[in-house]
Chains A and B, each alone.
Chain A
Amino acid sequence: MAIATRSAFGALVNEDAVHRRLYTDSNIFAEEMRRIFGRTWVFIGHESEVPNPGDFKTGDLAGQPTIMVRHANGEIHVLFNRCRHRGAMVCAHATGNASYFQCPYHAWVYKTNGDLALVPNVELFGSDFQLADWGLVHVPRVDSYGGFVFASLSPEGISLDEHLGRAKHYIDVMVGRAPFGAIQATQALRYEYPGNWKFQIENMSDNYHATYVHASAFGVRADMGQNGAAHVFGNAPNNQEQARIERSFGHGHGVLDYQGTRLLVTEPDRYPAYFAALRERRGEARARELARTDLHVMIYPNLILHTNYNHYRVIRPLAVDHTEINTYPCRLVGAPDEVNEALVAASALHVSPAGRVQVDDLEAFSRVQRGLAVEAAEWVLFKMRGVDEHVNEYGELECRFLSEMIPRGYYREWLRLMSQE
Chain B
Amino acid sequence: MSRESLQHDVEQFLFHEAELIDHRRLDEWADLFTDDALYSAPNAGEEGDPLHEGFIIYEDRRGITERVRRLQHPAALTQVPPPRTRHMIANVVARDGDNGDRVVTSNQVVYFARQGREVQYPGSWEHVLTRVEDQWRIKRKKIVLLTNDRAMSQVPVL
Give residues in A with beta carbon < 8 Å to B. 94, 186-193, 212-213, 215-217, 219-221, 223-224, 227-229, 324-326, 329, 331, 337, 340-341, 344-345, 347-349, 352-356, 359-360, 362-364
Given contacts A189-B43, A360-B78, A363-B77, is CB(A354)–CB(B151) below 8 Å? no
Cα distance A219–B58 in the bound complex, in angstroms: 20
Asked whether A224 lies within 8 Å of B44 as measured between CB atoms, the reply is no
B152 at the binding interface (Cβ < 8 Å): yes
Complex: A215 Cα to B80 Cα, angstroms: 13
**Neighbouring B residues of A329 by C-beta, 8 Å:** 54
Checking A187, A352, A362 against B52 with a beta-carbon cut-off of 8 angstroms, the contacting residue is A187
Interface residue? B18 (CB, 8 A): no
Also in contact, A352 and B43, with CB within 8 A (given A94-B149, A220-B69, A344-B54):
yes
Q: Smallest distance from the beta carbon of B41 to chain A beta carbons, Å?
A: 7
With beta carbons under 8 angstroms apart, the residue of A193, A213, A220 that contacts B77 is A213
CB neighbours of B152 from chain A (8 A): 190-192, 353-354
Given contacts A187-B43, A337-B51, A348-B43, contact A220 B66 (CB under 8 A): yes
Known: A341-B50, A348-B43, A352-B56. A325 touches B151 (CB 8 A): yes
Q: Which residues of A contact B90 (CB under 8 A)?
A: none
Q: How far is the CA of A113 from the CA of B63 in the complex (A)?
A: 46
B153 touches which one: A191, A219, A331 (CB < 8 A)? A191
Q: Is B58 a contact partner of A345 (Cβ separation < 8 A)? A: yes
The reply to whether A353 and B56 form a contact with Cβ atoms under 8 Å apart is: yes
Q: List 9 A-B contacts (CB under 8 A).
A: A186-B53, A192-B153, A337-B51, A345-B50, A348-B58, A354-B155, A356-B66, A359-B78, A360-B76
A324 and B150 CA atoms in complex are apart in Å by 10
Sample of 13 more A-B contacts, CB < 8 Å, known A212-B75, A353-B154 = A189-B54, A190-B151, A191-B151, A193-B153, A215-B73, A219-B75, A229-B63, A325-B151, A348-B55, A352-B55, A353-B153, A356-B66, A363-B154
A337 to B73 alpha-carbon distance, docked (Å):
34
Q: Does B25 contact A (CB under 8 A)?
A: no
Identify the interface centre among B44, B65, B149: most chain A CB within 10 Å of its CB: B44
Query: In the complex, are the beta carbons of A219 and B56 less than 8 A apart?
Result: no
Whole-angstrom CA separation of A356 from B69 in the bound complex: 11
With A216-B73, A221-B66 as contacts: A187 and B54 at CB distance below 8 Å:
yes
Taken together as a complex, chains A and B put the C-alpha atoms of A224 and B62 apart, in Å, by 9
**Using Cβ atoms and an 8 Å threshold, which residues of chain A touch B65?**
224
In the docked arrangement, what's the CA distance between A325 and B150, Å? 11
Total chain B interface residues with beta-carbon distance under 8 A: 35
Instruction: Please state if A324 and B66 are interface contacts (CB–CB under 8 Å).
Output: no
Quick one: which of B44, B50, B73 contacts A344, CB cutoff 8 A? B50
Q: Is the Cβ of B70 less than 8 Å from the Cβ of A220?
A: yes
Residues from 29 to 69 in B contacting A, C-beta threshold 8 Å: 41, 43-45, 50-58, 62-63, 65-67, 69
- Residues from chain B with Cβ under 8 Å of A216 in the complex: 70, 73-77, 79
Of the candidates B45, B57, B150, which one forms a contact with A354 in the assembled complex, judged by CB atoms under 8 Å apart? B57
| Residue among A192, A340, A344, A362 with the highest chain B CB neighbour number at 10 A | A344
Instruction: Give the CA-CA distance A352 to B55 in the complex, in Å.
Output: 8
CA distance A191 to B152 in the complex (A): 5
Contacts of B58 in A (CB 8 A): 345, 348-349
User: Any chain A CB within 8 A of the CB of B158?
Assistant: yes
Tell me if B66 and A187 are in contact (CB < 8 A). Answer: no
- Alpha-carbon distance A210/B20, docked complex (angstroms): 31
Report yes or no: B43 in contact with A220, Cβ–Cβ below 8 A.
no
User: B128-158 CB contact bits vs A (8 Å, 1 = yes)?
Assistant: 0000000000000000000001111111001
- Residues of B within 8 Å of A324, CB to CB, are 151
Q: Which residue of B has the minimal Cβ distance to A355? A: B56
Which of the listed residues B44, B65, B76 has the most CB atoms from chain A within 10 Å of its own CB? B76
- Which chain A positions have C-beta within 8 A of B54? 186-187, 189, 329, 344, 347-348
Shortest distance between the CB of A16 and any CB in chain B (Å): 26
| Residue of A whose beta carbon sits closest to that of B143 | A354
Q: Does the CB pair B50–A353 fall under 8 Å?
A: no
CB distance from A203 to the nearest CB of B (A): 13
Nearest to A227 among chain B residues (CB) is: B62
Chain A residues with Cβ under 8 A from B79's Cβ?
A: 216
Q: How far is A398 from B62 in the complex, measured between Cα atoms in Å? A: 40
Q: For B149, give the chain A residue with the smallest CB separation.
A: A94
Residue B73 contacts which of A186, A192, A220 (CB distance < 8 angstroms)? A220
B154 engages A223 (CB within 8 Å): no
Q: Is A215 in contact with B52, judged by CB distance below 8 angstroms? A: no
CB distance from A331 to the nearest CB of B (A): 6
Report yes or no: A228 in contact with B76, Cβ–Cβ below 8 A. Answer: no
CB distance from A187 to the nearest CB of B (A): 4
